[in-house]
Amino acid sequence: MAETSDQESKTEEPTEKKVRDALEQGKIPVSREASIFASMAALMVIQAFLIGPGVQQLTPMLKSFLDDPEGFPLGTGADAQNLLTVVGLQALRFLVPLVVVLVVFGLAASLLQNAPRLVLERIKPNLSRISPLSGWSRLFGTQGLVEFAKSLFKLAAVTAVVAFVLRSSEARAFEAMYTDPVALPEMILNIAMRIVSAICIATIVLVAIDLAWARFHWRRELRMTRQEIKDEHKQAEGDPLIKARLRSLARDRSRQRMIASASRATLVIANPTHFAIALRYKREESAAPLVVAKGMDVIALKIREVAEQNRIPVIENKALARALYEAVQVDQVIPAEFFRPVAEIIYFLQSKQAPRTEKVQ
């Protein structure tokens, strides 16, 4: 009941991170019916293209062995080894193509469903896989019922197909009793091909449904609660309190650097304690005054303190200081509309050699 209620609470679609983590852990949607269908298709290809030529190549050797068994001496162990080598090579020539086709179709069924990936997590020991309680829940859970329904469908489909094919081949089977025995293997092969082909056709619908069900069940198992989405978002974005603290520390460092930069200024425009803008103007460095620091209230007082310590002129101009504070940015030159009033102050300082604090209207 707890697992059912927990599953019902997972109403939200999985996030990209949830899906990515599941793929990295090897939790991928896999259709078992697709693999079985691939095996049947491989068997059909083997019957159609490989069994006949393979038997034709194997027949002469078997025929020669049966017609002239004395041609294969077995007097010593070396003779027996030679005979086994010949028989083994012939068997390999017959079996290797069959195995290759089965492997290729099996790999194709797996690769077409999901991209290959190496997941060491899947081979680690997991006690839940051998737990009777977990096994019981898998057998009688939703997935277990679906597998049981698929098995019933396959049993019914295969039984019906085999019965239909054998029923339709009944007359040929009776006729084979009075025909040349050489034609008997070909007749059996044709009946087997009809059975396998019919089974493949009958199970195509089941394979398509199982592919869709595997994807749907996989997505449903990955569903998340709203709290899980919030927690994941918090982990991705970071704790708001920590982020606020980091922003505060960054602002403090920025202020400290800016206040330290005020020592490079050539003049400070203040209002008189609420605003302070530290400007640096050297004709050989830039064509216009550069803002090296600005601040309000406590920061403004700190800038003025640094200016006084470094004997930097402080010009009190309330209107200009307020306008500059709102318009300028640190490490940028002042806007063009402030060129004239700032130039007048610079000219005043250079020509009059004003004391450290002056009031300019």
Residue-wise pLDDT for 32-74, tens only, equals 888 889 998 998 899 888 888 888 887 787 777 777 777 777 7
Name the residue among 339, 333, 328 with its Cα closest to residue 275.
328
Percentage of the chain beyond pLDDT 70 is 86
Starting from the edge strand earliest in sequence, which strands make up the sheet with 267-270, in order?
Answer: 290-296, 275-280, 267-270, 314-316, 357-359
The span from the CA of 307 to the CA of 318, in Å, is 18
14 domain residue, yes or no: no
Q: Is the model's pLDDT at 358 over the cut of 60?
A: no
Q: Are residues 190 and 269 in the same domain?
A: no
The span from the CA of 284 to the CA of 175, in Å, is 113
Task: Note the maximum CA span of the chain.
Answer: 133
Name the residue among 157, 169, 160, 159 with its Cα closest to residue 194.
169
pLDDT tens, 80-133? 888 788 888 888 988 999 999 999 998 998 888 887 777 666 666 666 666 666
pLDDT of residue 135: 63
pLDDT of residue 353: 57
Strands (E), 238-328: 267-270, 275-280, 290-296, 314-316
Secondary element (H or E) of residue 357: strand 357-359
Q: Are residues 201 and 350 in the same domain?
A: no
The span from the CA of 304 to the CA of 263, in Å, is 10
Domain edge (last residue) among 221, 240, 273: 221
pLDDT of residue 174: 75
Least confident piece of the model among 19-23, 160-164, 237-241: 237-241
Name the residue among 278, 276, 279, 316 with its Cα closest to residue 298.
276
Helix, coil or strand: residue 355: coil
Q: How many domains does the chain have?
A: 2
The span from the CA of 51 to the CA of 196, in Å, is 14
23 domain residue, yes or no: no
Confidence of residue 134 (pLDDT cuts 50, 70, 90): low
pLDDT of residue 100: 94
The span from the CA of 275 to the CA of 304, in Å, is 10
pLDDT of residue 99: 92
Q: Is the model's pLDDT at 6 over the cut of 70?
A: no
133 domain residue, yes or no: yes
pLDDT of residue 305: 87
For residue 343, the enclosing domain spans 258-359
pLDDT of residue 120: 67
Helix, coil or strand: residue 279: strand
The span from the CA of 56 to the CA of 53, in Å, is 5
Domain edge (last residue) among 194, 221, 248: 221
Q: Are residues 285 and 333 in the same domain?
A: yes
315 domain residue, yes or no: yes
pLDDT of residue 354: 46
Mean pLDDT of 246-259: 78
Give 141 or 285, the one with higher predicted confidence: 285
pLDDT of residue 130: 66
Residues paired with 12 in a beta bridge? 224
pLDDT tens, 256-303? 887 777 888 888 888 877 888 888 888 888 888 888 888 888 888 888
The span from the CA of 102 to the CA of 117, in Å, is 21
Cα pseudo-dihedral 48, 51, 55, 56, rounded to 10 = 30
5 domain residue, yes or no: no
The most confident of 3-7, 143-147, 316-320, 354-358, by mean pLDDT: 316-320
CATH code: domain of residue 283: 3.40.1690.10
Task: Kindly report the number of other CB atoms within 10 A of residue 90's CB atom.
Answer: 16
Q: Are residues 66 and 117 in the same domain?
A: yes
62 domain residue, yes or no: yes
pLDDT of residue 294: 86
12 domain residue, yes or no: no
**How would DSSP label each residue in 257-269?**
HHHHHGGG-SEEE
